[in-house]
Amino acid sequence: MEELIKSIVLGICSGGIYALLAVSYVVIYKSTRVFPFSQAAVLIIGAYLMWYSLIVWHLPIWLGFLITCMGGAILGGIVERAFMRPLVGQPILAPIVVTLCLMLLLRGIGIIIGKGDIQGFGESFLPMGAWQIGFFHLPKIQVYGMALCSLLIAGLMFFYEKTNIGLGMRVVHEDHVVAQNLGINVKRIFQYSWAISCMVAVVAGMLLGNIQGVGLALDANGLIAIAAVLFGGLESFMGAIIAGLAIGILQMLTITYIAPLLPGETTMMIPFVFLLLILFIKPYGLFGLVRIERL
Amino acid sequence: MSININRPCGTFDRNYFQAKALYRTPLRKALLILLIIGMYLIAFFIGDYGISILTLICAFTIGMLGLQIITGYCGQISIGHAAFMGVGMYTVGILQKHFGLSFWACLPLAGFIPMFIGMVFGIPALRMKGLYLAFATLAAHFVIVYVISNWRSVTNGTDGMWMKRPGPLWGIDFQSDRNYYLLVLTITILMVYLATNLVRTKLGRSFVAVRDNDIAAKVMGINIAHTKIMAFGIGCFFAGIAGALGGAYYEYVNIEWFGLDDSIWYLGFLVVGGFGSIFGAIAGATVWKIMDEFSTLITPLAETFLGGAAFYASAAFSLIFYSLIIIIFLVFEPRGIAHRWEIIKRSYRLHPFPY
């Protein structure tokens, strides 16, 4: 029982990052209807940016955070303008292939800027140590990470609900052509979506880099978050958050109960088995929009 | 883009014999036969390096044909194709190691076992299409790679397995690279013939119908479930055969060869080659392997340019180089080399006039 509670609490903590990542996928998918596989590699870029700012350039933490966020936003804007905009109106395969290739392209850039090594932050930029609550240790790094994630998601929701650009995004989500006719600059909205989403993804990247070490293996988290996006439904923020936490809990339960039974990287495999199960049972996820097609 | 649509304007069939023919004009037939003879003869004039490239081009052509059937003809996006190729390779390796079967006995099984696994992972295709299927095949990739790399007693884990080349058949020994190339070439020609005819059958036409609009296809009386599962099965059959041939060429298999990147390159170079045509698959595989050689040639240059250790610079270089090529193709020529080739042919035929 202690084990169970422990895994669930830790899972919720690590699930915050998955929720953040899932939200970053949803932001793009909602407005552009392109699924950004490339977000998995944006994580790597974000982690390296933060690493460069803190360790190589010796900047203060807040400045490093700012630079990383700006870098992510600029990266997203460039990606949208250079690679995604020429593909508007192409069949669904074209954006899928392009985002997959972008994932590898960004990964290659990550190899070059990181020289192929795994780097660490040395002193973590979030407080270290742990709180002793009852029978288990709660690492501060996870809790602060979770708090930062919740803050960002809350900010994003506020942006989505209350600002004009957010309103534009919601309209574009309904229908691209209608939005265009209403005088919304759809291309601009696409660009904002990519910029915001990449900004969110780099924050997730730096948090993950802080925990797991800055390296190319970070993109595995991005791929696992795909399972979360699908579980929650591709178009739902609420679903993304719940499913992100669920995937975090699932992973911790895997570590506690399944990893002793099976060899190898079960934490990588179980989310994908889960993804397959979702696809078999409820392909549109918890809150996803079931699209009815007509001839 | 079925066969008929690729034809130039004004070319049509007058009787059933013409409609059924594989080649329309005697010149085409002659050129095709010349090409095949040339492919056989070239093995006696080039060195081991050339033969290795040609063998790999042939093996990957078969795999690419499989993806062409799944994605190009049936429209079901697969991001796990390299993993199915790996299943084919490991089938041969496991059967040779644990059951002592000969390569000839393994080869059909190397097709049928990936076919079965592909059909299982294709089941989600019954309920959804497009993006969701891409997720299913992505998950399939990870599950397959996990099973292969962790079922150590059977697959030898991440250490890889040794494979044996086929034994002699009718007095021909396939141990040498040249003879093995001739074998692979023969199988490739057979598979290309098979695929060409497959897309002309009822099943192949229903693939195209499902790709273009699956609801319309259903209305026309096509059994969508059967068609999609068959597309997955046949595509993975091709992938398995390709894997078996490629693995036997190296006489070794390793799970490292079937990363997610390889699956993505499969899909990407299929786009570069051209969607929905057999020629596109062949062109895609050829371009891919030539790029491979080009990037190994140019790697020393990239190292001096990027500075630093060889190992990571070459890895980064090929990633960036390939992905840029695929993206540029998708942006500027989304229908690939096959389409460009049609345009060149047309402008040659109509030479003084633009249309």
Give the other-Cβ count within 10 Å of A150's Cβ.
Answer: 14
CB burial class (10 A; 0-12, 13-18, 19+) of residue B348?
exposed
| E strand or H helix at B161 | strand B161-162
Q: Which residues of A touch B268 (CB under 8 A)?
A: 97, 100-101
Residue B262 has pLDDT above 70, yes or no: yes
- As a whole number of angstroms, the distance between CA A123 and CA B315 comes to 30
Q: Which residues of A touch B142 (CB under 8 A)?
A: 223, 268-269, 272
Q: Which residues of B touch A111 (CB under 8 A)?
A: 312, 315-316, 319
- As a whole number of angstroms, the distance between CA B99 and CA B180 comes to 23
Q: How far is CA B197 from the centre of its chain?
A: 16
- As a whole number of angstroms, the distance between CA B163 and CA B160 comes to 10
Q: Which residues of B touch A268 (CB under 8 A)?
A: 142, 146
pLDDT in tens, B103-155: 788 888 888 998 998 888 888 777 777 788 888 888 888 888 888 888 877 77
Q: Which residues of A touch B308 (CB under 8 A)?
A: 115
Residue B188 has pLDDT above 50, yes or no: yes
Q: Which residues of A touch B322 (CB under 8 A)?
A: 101, 104
Tell me what pLDDT residue A194 has: 92
The arithmetic mean of pLDDT across residues B5-24, rounded, is 72
Residue B309 has pLDDT above 70, yes or no: no
Tell me what pLDDT residue B308 has: 56
Rounded to the nearest angstrom, the minimum Cα separation between B130 and chain A is 7
Do the Cβ atoms of B69 and B231 come closer than 8 Å?
A: yes
Do the Cβ atoms of B106 and B244 come closer than 8 Å?
A: yes
Residue B215 has pLDDT above 80, yes or no: yes
- Which residue of A112, A273, A294 is in closest CB contact with B316? A112
Tell me what pLDDT residue B302 has: 65
- As a whole number of angstroms, the distance between CA A18 and CA A220 comes to 11
A272·B213 Cβ contact <8 A: no
φ/ψ of A185, rounded to 5, equals -80, 95
- As a whole number of angstroms, the distance between CA A257 and CA A249 comes to 12
Q: Per residue of chain A (295 residues), what is the pLDDT tens digit?
A: 777 888 888 888 888 889 999 999 998 888 888 888 888 889 888 888 888 888 888 888 888 889 989 999 999 999 998 888 888 877 888 888 899 999 999 988 888 887 767 777 766 667 777 777 777 777 777 888 888 888 989 998 898 888 888 888 888 888 888 888 988 888 889 999 999 999 999 988 888 888 887 878 888 888 888 888 888 888 888 888 999 999 989 888 888 888 777 777 778 888 888 888 888 888 787 887 777 777 7
The arithmetic mean of pLDDT across residues B249-275, rounded, is 85
pLDDT in tens, A37-47: 888 889 888 88
A94·B146 Cβ contact <8 A: no
Tell me what pLDDT residue A236 has: 84
Do the Cβ atoms of A84 and A190 come closer than 8 Å?
A: yes
B326·A230 Cβ contact <8 A: no
Tell me the sheet residues that pair with A136: A133
Do the Cβ atoms of B56 and B246 come closer than 8 Å?
A: yes
- As a whole number of angstroms, the distance between CA A34 and CA A120 comes to 33
Residue B3 has pLDDT above 50, yes or no: no
- As a whole number of angstroms, the distance between CA B39 and CA A138 comes to 67
DSSP A92: T
- As a whole number of angstroms, the distance between CA A205 and CA A51 comes to 11
φ/ψ of A217, rounded to 5, equals -70, -10
pLDDT in tens, B45-101: 888 888 888 888 998 999 999 999 988 888 888 888 889 988 888 888 888 888 877
Phi-psi region of A264 (alpha: psi -120 to 50; beta: other; left: phi over 0): left
Nearest CA among B229, B231, B243 for reference residue B187 = B243
- As a whole number of angstroms, the distance between CA B288 and CA B63 comes to 12
Residue B20 has pLDDT above 80, yes or no: no
Nearest CA among B243, B260, B239 for reference residue B252 = B243
Do the Cβ atoms of A38 and A109 come closer than 8 Å?
A: no
Rounded to the nearest angstrom, the minimum Cα separation between A131 and chain B is 36
Residue B232 has pLDDT above 70, yes or no: yes
Question: What dihedral do alpha carbons B55, A93, A105, A265 form, nearest 10°?
Answer: -80
HEC letters along A247-267? HHHHHHHHHHHHCCCCCCCHH
B320·A105 Cβ contact <8 A: yes
Nearest CA among A160, A143, A146 for reference residue A237 = A160
A96·B143 Cβ contact <8 A: no
A96·B123 Cβ contact <8 A: no
Do the Cβ atoms of B234 and B246 come closer than 8 Å?
A: no
- As a whole number of angstroms, the distance between CA A115 and CA B284 comes to 31
The arithmetic mean of pLDDT across residues B222-233, rounded, is 88
| Interface residue of A112, A113, A216, A290 to substitute, partner B, most B CBs within 10 Å | A112
A86 interface with B at CB cutoff 8 Å: yes
Task: List helix spans (H) across A52-139.
Answer: 61-79, 93-114
The whole-model pTM stands at 0.88
Q: Which residues contact B236 (CB under 8 A, 6 or more apart)?
A: B66, B70, B84, B87, B114, B115, B117, B118, B119
Tell me what pLDDT residue B337 has: 86
Q: Which residues of A touch B216 (CB under 8 A)?
A: 295
- As a whole number of angstroms, the distance between CA A100 and CA A102 comes to 5
- As a whole number of angstroms, the distance between CA B271 and CA B280 comes to 8
Give the other-Cβ count within 10 Å of B33's Cβ.
Answer: 11
CA dihedral sign, ordered A108, A113, A119, A125: negative
Q: Which residues of A touch B316 (CB under 8 A)?
A: 108-109, 111-112, 116
Token pair for A195: 């910029």
Residue B230 has pLDDT above 60, yes or no: yes
Tell me what pLDDT residue B148 has: 84
B132·A283 Cβ contact <8 A: yes
A116 interface with B at CB cutoff 8 Å: yes
Percent of chain B with pLDDT over 90: 6
- As a whole number of angstroms, the distance between CA A156 and CA A154 comes to 5
Rounded to the nearest angstrom, the minimum Cα separation between B138 and chain A is 8
Rounded to the nearest angstrom, the minimum Cα separation between A132 and chain B is 36
- As a whole number of angstroms, the distance between CA A227 and CA A244 comes to 9
At B1, is the pLDDT very low, low, confident or very high (cuts 50, 70, 90)?
Answer: very low
Nearest CA among A153, A102, A109, A88 for reference residue B261 = A102
| Interface residue of B219, B255, B331 to substitute, partner A, most A CBs within 10 Å | B331
Chain A 66-85, CB below 8 Å of chain B: which residues?
83
Tell me what pLDDT residue B61 has: 92
B261·A104 Cβ contact <8 A: yes
- Which residue of A112, A276, A295 is in closest CB contact with B306? A112
A112·B71 Cβ contact <8 A: no
Tell me the sheet residues that pair with B172: B169
Q: Which residues of A touch B140 (CB under 8 A)?
A: 276
The arithmetic mean of pLDDT across residues B325-354, rounded, is 83
Q: Which residues contact B165 (CB under 8 A, 6 or more apart)?
A: B103, B174, B175, B180, B248, B249, B251
Rounded to the nearest angstrom, the minimum Cα separation between B108 and chain A is 28
Tell me what pLDDT residue A195 has: 92
B143·A83 Cβ contact <8 A: no
Tell me what pLDDT residue A114 has: 77
Token pair for B328: 């540029």
Tell me what pLDDT residue A123 has: 67
B150·A108 Cβ contact <8 A: no
- Which residue of B150, B264, B331 is in closest CB contact with A104? B264
Tell me what pLDDT residue B2 has: 39
B142·A94 Cβ contact <8 A: no
The overall average pLDDT reported for chain B is 83
- As a whole number of angstroms, the distance between CA A75 and CA A73 comes to 5
- Which residue of B127, B142, B312 is in closest CB contact with A269? B142
Residue B7 has pLDDT above 80, yes or no: no
Pairing of strands A130-133, A136-139: antiparallel
**Residue of chain A whose Cα is closest to the Cα of B323:** A101
